[in-house]
Amino acid sequence: MIQRLGALLLIIAPLFSLAQGTTKTEEAVRIYQTGDLMAARTQILNALQSSEEKDQAYTWFVKGFIFKEIFKQIEKGNPFSENREVAVEAILHSMKLDGTGQYRENNVNALKYLSLTYYNDAVLLTKSLNESNLEFPLQFYQRYKELNVHIEPANDHKEQDLEFYKNMGKACRILYEKEDGTKVIYFDKMVDFYNMALEVAPEDFQANYNLAVNYYNKGVYKIRKIDHNTEIFELIRIQDECVALFKQALPFMLAANEAQPEHADTLKGLMAIYRSLSDRENAMAYQEELEKLITDGKPQD
């Protein structure tokens, strides 16, 4: 109720300042006040057909506000709502027409709400990710950032980017594991997201470590499928594929180790990778380092 009252005030305040009699836009606001959003929608679209009102920042703001409320109240924040995007475009157009900045605060508030719903949807979708919605979290996140430029122009989103890409990488990895490694698309997406994270922060421990582990474990899962029916030529092919994966894992595990030199998991990882590459010398060196870490009583897990 308080939110609704606030929203009404946002609209009514500029109305008083106009004080130009009843325009079609004002009529749309009046209809909105009765609670009939769909009729208000028809009226504001009608107002935009009017040559006197179609270039008014206020008219576009009202359009954006009504469509935002449709998205919120009728569509209950449906992530695939078209009305949300209509609202965004209207608000942006209003900001463009608003040379004096008269409606800036109202426009920014509405845009802030809408941009955060995109962020919200991106986050929520990572929790229910599947093959059919795999592309959407990134699309929603990018839209959030595009809109946020109008709200916080100085925000470079580096920290948010890093967290978002890493969480998407993890979500894809979990799906890949749930499907027993049969859906390569999840693995490829996981690699893409961790690489995006590393573009933002090349030295990030978690992105390097997770990417390394995922490459390495992919090789291990292939090896686990070897059985008595595996022919010798298949053994050789599997081994070549796995060696390639272990080699891909190595630079990322080394980078993770450089970021956190006394982390038991990276030492275990380096030991496993070198052992799998038949590099006994390096495997032994990291094993000794790990044992020393444990003896000294400071393993980090």
Which residue among 239, 260, 282, 289 contacts other proteins (CB under 8 A)? 239
Is 116 a residue that touches other proteins (CB under 8 A)? yes
Q: Classify residue 50 by its DSSP letter.
A: S
Residue 121: both structure tokens together: 């949807």
Closest Cα to residue 94, out of 46, 53, 62, 61? 61
Which of 10, 171, 198, 200 is the binder for other proteins (CB under 8 A)?
171
Q: Report which of 150, 75, 165 is spatially closest to residue 110, judged by C-alpha positions.
A: 150
Return the number of the residue (20 or 130) whose C-beta is nearest other proteins. Answer: 130
**Exposed e or buried b per residue across 206-215, where buried means at least 16 C-beta atoms within 10 angstroms of its C-beta:** bbbbbbbbbb
Should residue 232 be labelled a site residue for other proteins when binding is judged by CB under 8 A? yes
By CB under 8 A, is residue 257 in contact with other proteins?
no
C-alpha–C-alpha distance, residues 212 and 197, integer Å: 13
Out of 150, 181, 247, 285, point to the residue binding other proteins (CB under 8 A): 247
* Phi, psi values for residue 20, rounded to 5°: -115, 25
Question: In whole angstroms, what is the distance from residue 132 CA to residue 158 CA?
Answer: 28
Q: Quick one: tokens of 207?
A: 């992105």
Tell me the residue type at 73: Q
Asked if 123 interacts with other proteins (CB under 8 A), we say: yes
Q: Does 115 bind other proteins (CB under 8 A)?
A: no
Residues 202-231, interacting with other proteins (CB under 8 A): 206, 209-210, 213-214, 216-217, 219-221, 223-224, 226-228, 230-231
Least Å distance, CB 181 to other proteins, is 12
Neighbours of 80 (CB within 10 A): 11
Among 161, 279, 289, 299, binds other proteins (CB under 8 A): 279
Asked whether position 107 contacts other proteins by CB under 8 A, the answer is: no
Measured from the CB atom, is 123 or 254 closer to other proteins? Answer: 123
- Single out the residue of 246, 248, 252, 257 in contact with other proteins (rule: CB under 8 A): 246
Q: Are 207 and 167 in contact (CB under 8 A)?
A: no
Total residues belonging to the chain = 301
Footprint of other proteins (CB under 8 A):
3, 109, 112-113, 116, 119-120, 123-124, 126-127, 163, 167, 170-171, 173-174, 206, 209-210, 213-214, 216-217, 219-221, 223-224, 226-228, 230-233, 235-236, 239-240, 242-243, 246-247, 265, 268-269, 272, 275-279
